[in-house]
Amino acid sequence: MAKILDKKLVSPAVYELVIEAPLIARKCKPGQFVIVLSDPESERVPFTIADFDREKGTITMIIQVVGNTSRHICEDYEAGDEWDNIVGPLGQPSEMKNFGTVVCVGGGIGVAPVYPIARAYKELGNKVISIIGARNKDLVLWEERMRAVSDELIVCTDDGSYGHKGFVTDPLKAMLEKGEKVDYVIAIGPVIMMRNVARTTEPFKVFTAVSLNTIMVDGTGMCGGCRVLVGGENKFACVDGPEFDAHKVDFANLMERQKMYKTQESVEWGCGGACKCLK
């Protein structure tokens, strides 16, 4: 059983949940994830660990309501309730060492999983520059947390309602074009954002890692749903990753595969494909 100690809405349809999970909190590392089974009849779903407290025995997850299962997990349970099962930590942890100057890029709710990575890099003595982005000011996530673990924080919004107007790739590109020293880049967020970060850094030959946690389903490598081409080889995000060399990921193939169940998803949402929620 996994007890929910705290739950709050942090932005529209996005919840922050603190879970009592001492065994997971004791062993988890930045970049890893858990599998949640809220009740015996529910779907098993993977969620990246956004924070952990080893002393308190807790882990924190940021969950966006995008379908029936995430809605059930977020809206039908309150603080004090218990999920039936939680398993972890799973996946390969982020590569941790003193690279020098690290740029951590988080888009949307991707800011949450990038947070413990940025914190760990800072603790290892890296200079950490964080770039976080959202569509508008109301959707900016964990700004103060990211500021606390960064030497420099840049906030971007698509509509310019807060911070830099534009995409997270804009300040990253400007930084590289000015010749600023960047030794390592990690990007987590929507697949198209990660692809664009990879395209931005590739001409400058700056190693870039991306976390493909958004495409995971089963979490054990058995379903094949998270299969991705990396350097021409089939990899599974849940067991081989979720982090991979961004310059070797076949993003075209990945984005095409993401469209496979668009029709079924639109039916599940009840829009019959008429709206733009999945386009």
Q: Is 64 annotated as a binding residue?
A: yes
Q: Is 226 annotated as a binding residue?
A: yes
Q: Is 92 annotated as a binding residue?
A: no
Q: Is 238 annotated as a binding residue?
A: yes
Q: Is 59 annotated as a binding residue?
A: no
Q: Which residues contact 32 (CB under 8 A, 6 or more apart)?
A: 48, 49, 88, 89, 90, 91, 92, 93
Q: How far apart are the first and last CA of the chain?
A: 37
Positions at the binding site for FAD: 62-64
Positions at the binding site: 62-64, 223, 226, 238
Positions at the binding site for [2Fe-2S] cluster: 223, 226, 238
